[in-house]
Structure 1
Amino acid sequence: MFLAGCRRLACATNTFSRFGSSFARLGLCSLLAIGGASAAEATAMAPEYLDYIRANVASRHEVEVFINDGGWAKFDPELGYILGNSMPHDGFEKSMTLSTAQANGARRSFMYPARPCRINTYGDSFTQCHQVNDGETWQEYLAGHLGEPVRNFGMGGYGVYQAYRRLLREETTDHGAEYLVFYLWGDDHIRSLLRCRYMNFREWTARQTEIEGEGVMFHGNFWPNIEMDLATGKMVEHESRIRTAADVYNMTNPDWMAENMRGDLALQMSLYKKGLIRAPDWEALRKLAGWLDFAVNWDDPARRDDAITGLLDAYSFAATKYILTKAQAFAAAQHKKLLVVLFDPNRVTRSLLAGETSRYDQPVVDFLAQHNFKVFDMNLVHVADFKAFNLSIDRYYDRYFIGHYSPAGNHFFATAIGATIADWLDPKPIIYRTDQHQTTDFKGYLEGHN
């Protein structure tokens, strides 16, 4: 059952400890273990949604570091934040990672800078390639193979909508490209819906504060998002509620935060799943489910709670379909080509490796096929690769992941997608061309060779 074991043993610790709450320091699961309370009793002890918001506002020091470009991300008035310059303690073999940005906001690259760039990439941290150095991204490995540069406009934490907005912005500049890679990873679908993702990963922020220092990894502040208008059932795009660096300090104001987070149904469902709030707005969720044609037994609390994950997925997939439709139309109008990458190592790849035949993101897979998108599915690449090994799933993951892809994982991804990219490009990359002249034309490859 959904509530059994404290909502799938989420056991996330609430940060009410700032105000001395013993509940916050223990968390729901600890209360169950120590006091013998039932799941229902523990749930009743959780804070109301807006009380949780008020208790988990950012500190002024976090904001100060962020708006003064002292951390991993830096403020952006449209997108909330973009990549900054930093060296997090999160790399391969306990190393730090050099993570830096160019003047145009793309991650720093080194391969064939004198050659024209035909490929721009957009997405979250698996596009940005968090946890590796600038020269170890899959874009750099791919560029090294193709013999031409590949720009990296990925940003950790972005959802599908935020990556789409980044795409719209960059593709109307002089560094736009003809070929656009749009990477959909994991829970990016849900992130699109959130007004301020900061509230959905406070436990992660607390851990990063211990490792990096307060504010260094601050992100997930207010950004543009998409939500359903419950009066019409239509998806509505919203600009960020914070448009200046100075206004980021509003995130330290409990009342301002409560007012501006009121009605964020995706956040309510996410926090409820983790056992961090007492209840979402059930009446609003009933309306949402109606518009989505998602069946919920509202009269049975246990079944109602079990349905939250499915309802949140259905809501987020509706948003993703809306965004994909707009991205496809934009690319066509601008005479650009679009490739959608799918990868979810947690909820898709792992389940397929375990022998399951269905995948939770099938509605998105079907939508892409029905609307003739060009798609590269990395989940299926890993399924095929796994068959070559006699390993447990965890040991197999150790080959490629350190949380995000390791350098080896990024190299594997670049190798896997390389043929798809080469076939897509017209004209072909120099190493795939057949006319003999290209074998001696080193313009743009050798320094001083014109």
Structure 2
Amino acid sequence: MQGKNIILLLFSIIILNLSLSAQTGQPSMSFGAYVEKYKPSTEEIDVFLHRDSWVQFDPEVGYILGNFLPHDGMDNSLTISTTEPDGYRTSYMYRGKPCRINTYGNSFTAGNQVSDGETWQEYLAAHLGEPIRNFGVGGFGVYQSYRRMIREESTSRGAKYNILYIWGDDHFRSLLRSRYMVTTAWNERQDEKEGVGTMFHGNFWSNVEMDLEVGVFREKENLLPTPESLYKMADSDWMYENLKDDWALQMRLYINKDLDTIDFGKMQRLSELLGTDFFPGQNPRAAVDQLRTKYSHAATKY
């Protein structure tokens, strides 16, 4: 971006090995059966769209921070998580003063598990003597944070310095059309703790993925860009048709032993386009895991 000093913080890029240790305990099944079992309910979507919840709908990046009191603090205590009218997290330090720093990223950037005024941006603002805007959103990948940054920096809220924080599996998230299907266990726990739908997220968003036909990366727009269209997520047929070639999603589920198989022909094609080897052999899940890592790194460089 011209005139911007973008600081890319690679604090903790961790390649997550999900092949053995992250099993859900559920038996493997076909992708169609998985979609049928774990698609969201209309009740979840109703709550997300019409009641105060952790995040709120966004037509481009799926969702941004909302206004809620989640039980994610010390000893299951409530934290205060709210947003300013302009869409960044509520801040108190040096309000009204010129802002030179905007921050983007996932839950670490957003400051999950602490209240407004307790985020690292607020502490840093106190040290620097100037406000720092927090555009972080829990669950975002590198690409979704990038899209949010491009959008915000083109407005009057743009800042001289941008911090784009990348954590653990953010590079994997960039590839997904929707992250909902990979957080099913977490979704169920949150529904029990907070109430059905109040922590809903991971709906469809803009993403980047490899076009296996042409052999190039494509930046894709959100398939469900209106609140009304979001109800299609509760339709298993629609979900299957629009996710059956989301290979990043199927790779994640196959690695995690949620799926009983994956299209190895597509995996071979992907490996060829990435210029890497793919030998499923005796341990196909590990081979897919390695390929997914290379895929996500290539997408991040793109």
Alignment TM-score > 0.5, same fold = yes
**Identity in percent:** 49
Q: Secondary structure at the match of 2:270?
A: helix
Question: Is contact 1:296–1:303 with CA below 8 Å preserved after alignment?
Answer: no
Question: Is contact 2:251–2:292 with CA below 8 Å preserved after alignment?
Answer: yes
**Take 1:219 and 1:191, find their aligned partners in 2: how far apart are those partners?**
13
Other-structure match for 1:58 = 40
Other-structure match for 2:145 = 163
Alignment of 1:323-362 (within 5 A): none
Q: Does 1:251 align with 2:263?
A: no
Q: Secondary structure at the match of 2:261?
A: coil
**Take 2:279 and 2:265, find their aligned partners in 1: how far apart are those partners?**
13
Equivalent of 1:47 in 23, 29, 44: 29
Question: Is contact 2:267–2:288 with CA below 8 Å preserved after alignment?
Answer: no
Question: Is contact 2:255–2:286 with CA below 8 Å preserved after alignment?
Answer: no
Task: Report the Cα offset of residue 295 of structure 1.
Answer: 1.3
Structural RMSD (CA):
1.3
Other-structure match for 2:12 = none
Assess, with a 3 A threshold, how the Cα gap between structure 1 residues 180 and 7 changes in structure 2: closer, same or farther.
closer
Question: Is contact 2:19–2:289 with CA below 8 Å preserved after alignment?
Answer: no
Matched letter for residue 156 of structure 1: G
Other-structure match for 1:239 = 221
Other-structure match for 2:285 = 305
Unaligned runs of 5+ in 1: 1-5, 14-26, 29-45, 323-450
Q: Secondary structure at the match of 1:148?
A: coil
Task: Report the Cα offset of residue 70 of structure 1.
Answer: 2.4
Other-structure match for 2:250 = 268
Equivalent of 2:92 in 110, 124, 129: 110
Matched letter for residue 294 of structure 2: A
Equivalent of 1:95 in 53, 77, 88: 77
Q: Does 1:11 align with 2:23?
A: yes
Q: Does 1:148 align with 2:160?
A: no
Task: Report the Cα offset of residue 231 of structure 1.
Answer: 2.2
Task: Report the Cα offset of residue 206 of structure 1.
Answer: 0.4
Matched letter for residue 207 of structure 1: R
Q: Does 1:217 align with 2:199?
A: yes
**Take 2:204 and 2:190, find their aligned partners in 1: how far apart are those partners?**
19
Question: Is contact 1:266–1:312 with CA below 8 Å preserved after alignment?
Answer: yes
Q: Does 1:78 align with 2:90?
A: no
Other-structure match for 1:316 = 296
Q: Does 1:120 align with 2:132?
A: no
**Take 2:30 and 2:111, find their aligned partners in 1: how far apart are those partners?**
36
Q: Secondary structure at the match of 2:208?
A: strand
CA deviation digits over 1:276-314, x for unaligned, max 9?
Answer: 11112211111001111221224x2x2333212111110
Equivalent of 1:202 in 184, 202, 206: 184
Equivalent of 1:280 in 232, 242, 262: 262
Structure 1 or 2, whichever has the larger Rg, is 1
CA deviation digits over 1:334-356, x for unaligned, max 9?
Answer: xxxxxxxxxxxxxxxxxxxxxxx
Q: Secondary structure at the match of 1:61?
A: helix
Question: Is contact 1:69–1:75 with CA below 8 Å preserved after alignment?
Answer: no
Matched letter for residue 89 of structure 1: H
CA deviation digits over 1:329-386, x for unaligned, max 9?
Answer: xxxxxxxxxxxxxxxxxxxxxxxxxxxxxxxxxxxxxxxxxxxxxxxxxxxxxxxxxx
Q: Secondary structure at the match of 2:214?
A: coil
Matched letter for residue 210 of structure 1: E
Task: Report the Cα offset of residue 93 of structure 1.
Answer: 3.5
CA deviation digits over 1:61-102, x for unaligned, max 9?
Answer: 100000114210111111110110000011023321000000
**Take 1:104 and 1:69, find their aligned partners in 2: how far apart are those partners?**
19
TM-score, structure 2 as length reference: 0.92
Matched letter for residue 160 of structure 1: V
Unaligned runs of 5+ in 2: 1-17
Matched letter for residue 53 of structure 2: G
**Take 1:134 and 1:57, find their aligned partners in 2: how far apart are those partners?**
32
Matched letter for residue 164 of structure 2: F
Task: Report the Cα offset of residue 7 of structure 1.
Answer: 4.5
Q: Secondary structure at the match of 1:82?
A: strand
Q: Which has the higher helix share?
A: 1
Matched letter for residue 122 of structure 1: Y
Q: Secondary structure at the match of 1:8?
A: coil
Other-structure match for 1:365 = none
Question: Is contact 2:61–2:148 with CA below 8 Å preserved after alignment?
Answer: yes
Matched letter for residue 213 of structure 2: A
Other-structure match for 1:178 = 160
**Take 1:319 and 1:281, find their aligned partners in 2: how far apart are those partners?**
21
**Take 1:198 and 1:122, find their aligned partners in 2: how far apart are those partners?**
21
Matched letter for residue 311 of structure 1: L
**Take 2:240 and 2:75, find their aligned partners in 1: how far apart are those partners?**
41
Q: Secondary structure at the match of 1:136?
A: coil
Matched letter for residue 300 of structure 2: T
Question: Is contact 2:267–2:278 with CA below 8 Å preserved after alignment?
Answer: no
List structure 1 segments (4+ residues) > 6 angstroms apart after TM superposition: none
Other-structure match for 1:440 = none
Matched letter for residue 22 of structure 2: A
Q: Secondary structure at the match of 2:241?
A: helix
Matched letter for residue 39 of structure 2: V
